[in-house]
């Protein structure tokens, strides 16, 4: 998500409508990673396929904000919103 901040800021000044072509693939890749992390968090991926079986867990309580809001779900919402806004801006150009 952090490269998107730089790419979108650089695309704002001067306004470059081609920035969607650069940012959209990165956002889609980020969304795919986030989907995988959400599947890990909610326990839908078998234990033998989980990369974080040792050390800090990807599905631990520390992955929740305020004790009830999963961080992977926030990331999924963020990437989805970024993709929707990028597609909307591409459609208006």
Q: pLDDT per residue over 61-86, tens digit each?
A: 666 777 778 888 899 999 999 999 99
- Taking 3-state DSSP, the helix, strand and coil percentages for the chain, each rounded to the nearest 5, stand at 65, 5, 30
CA 23, distance to chain mean position in Å, is: 12
At 58, phi and psi to the nearest 5? -80, -10
Q: How confident is the model over 3-52, as pLDDT tens digits?
A: 999 999 998 888 888 899 999 999 999 999 999 888 888 878 776 776 66
- What does the pLDDT average to over 55-61? 61
Question: Above 70 in pLDDT, residue 93?
Answer: no
Nearest to 37 by CA among 86, 79, 83: 79
Residue 70: what pLDDT?
Answer: 83
Question: Above 90 in pLDDT, residue 54?
Answer: no
């Amino acid at each position: 998500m952090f490269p998107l901040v730089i790419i979108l800021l650089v695309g704002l000044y001067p306004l470059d409508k081609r920035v969607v072509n650069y940012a959209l693939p990165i956002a889609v890749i980020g969304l795919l990673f986030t989907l995988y992390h959400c599947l890990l968090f909610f326990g839908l991926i078998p234990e033998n396929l989980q990369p974080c079986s040792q050390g800090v867990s990807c599905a631990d309580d520390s992955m929740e904000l305020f004790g009830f809001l999963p961080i992977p779900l926030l990331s999924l919402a963020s990437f989805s919103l970024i993709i929707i806004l990028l597609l909307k801006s591409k459609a208006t150009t």
